[in-house]
Amino acid sequence: MKITEKFAEGSKNAKYVEVFQYSGLATLDILLQCALSYKGNIQDVGESHPYVKAVKRMIELTLHRCLNINLYPEFLFKLSPSGKEFFKLCDFVHEFSEDIISKRKEDLKENADTEKRRQLDFLDILLTARDESGKGLTDEEIRTEVDTFMFAGHDTTSSVLSWSIYSLGKHKDIQDKVYEEVKRVVGDKQYVDCEDISKMKYVSCFLKEVMRHHTPVPVISRMLDEPCVIEGVEIPKGSFIDMAIHHAHHHPDVWEDPWEFKPERFVGDKHHDMDPYSFTPFSAGPRNCIGQAFAQNEEKVLIARLINRFEISIDPEHEVEHFIEVVMRAKNGIMASFKERT
Ligand code: HEM
Q: pLDDT tens digits for 172-210?
A: 999 999 999 999 999 989 899 999 999 999 999 999 999
Q: Nearest C-alpha to atom 21 of ligand 1 is from which residue?
A: 289
pLDDT grade for 270, boundaries at 50, 70 and 90 = confident
pLDDT tens readout for residues 26-41: 999 999 999 888 888 8
Torsion of Cα atoms, 189 then 191 then 194 then 195, to 10°: 10
Length of the chain counted residue by residue: 342
User: Is the ipTM value over 0.95, yes or no?
Assistant: yes
Task: State in Å: Cα 11 to ligand 1 middle.
Answer: 32
Q: Please give the CATH topology (third level) of the domain spanning 2-217+249-340.
A: Cytochrome p450 (1.10.630)
Rounded mean pLDDT of 280-290? 93
- Residue 122 Cα: closest atom of ligand 1: 30
Residue 140 one-letter amino acid:
E
Q: Is the dihedral of CA 148, 27, 34, 114 positive or negative?
A: positive
pLDDT grade for 117, boundaries at 50, 70 and 90 = low
Distances (CA, A) of 219 to 186, 254, 277, 328: 35, 18, 14, 10
On the question of pLDDT at 116 being above 70, the answer is: no
Rounded mean pLDDT of 1-29? 87
Q: Nearest C-alpha to atom 39 of ligand 1 is from which residue?
A: 287
Q: Is the pTM higher than 0.80?
A: yes
The answer to whether 309 touches 301, Cβ cutoff 8 Å, is no
Rounded mean pLDDT of 131-143? 91
Task: State in Å: Cα 210 to ligand 1 middle.
Answer: 17
Our answer on whether the CB atom of 153 is closer than 6 Å to any ligand 1 atom is yes
Q: Closest Cα partner for 20 from 337, 336, 334?
A: 334
Q: Which residue has the higher pLDDT, 73 or 12?
A: 73
Rounded mean pLDDT of 319-332? 93
Distance CA 334, CA 165 (A): 9
102 exposed, middle or buried (CB, 10 Å; 0-12, 13-18, 19+)? exposed
Distance CA 89, CA 86 (A): 5
Our answer on whether the CB atom of 289 is closer than 6 Å to any ligand 1 atom is yes
Q: Is 289 annotated as a binding residue?
A: yes
Our answer on whether the CB atom of 310 is closer than 6 Å to any ligand 1 atom is no
- Residue 298 Cα: closest atom of ligand 1: 27
At residue 217, φ and ψ (nearest 5 deg) are -115, 95
Residue 279 one-letter amino acid:
F
Distance CA 295, CA 156 (A): 9
On the question of pLDDT at 111 being above 80, the answer is: no
* Mean pLDDT of the residues in the chain: 91
Q: Nearest C-alpha to atom 24 of ligand 1 is from which residue?
A: 153
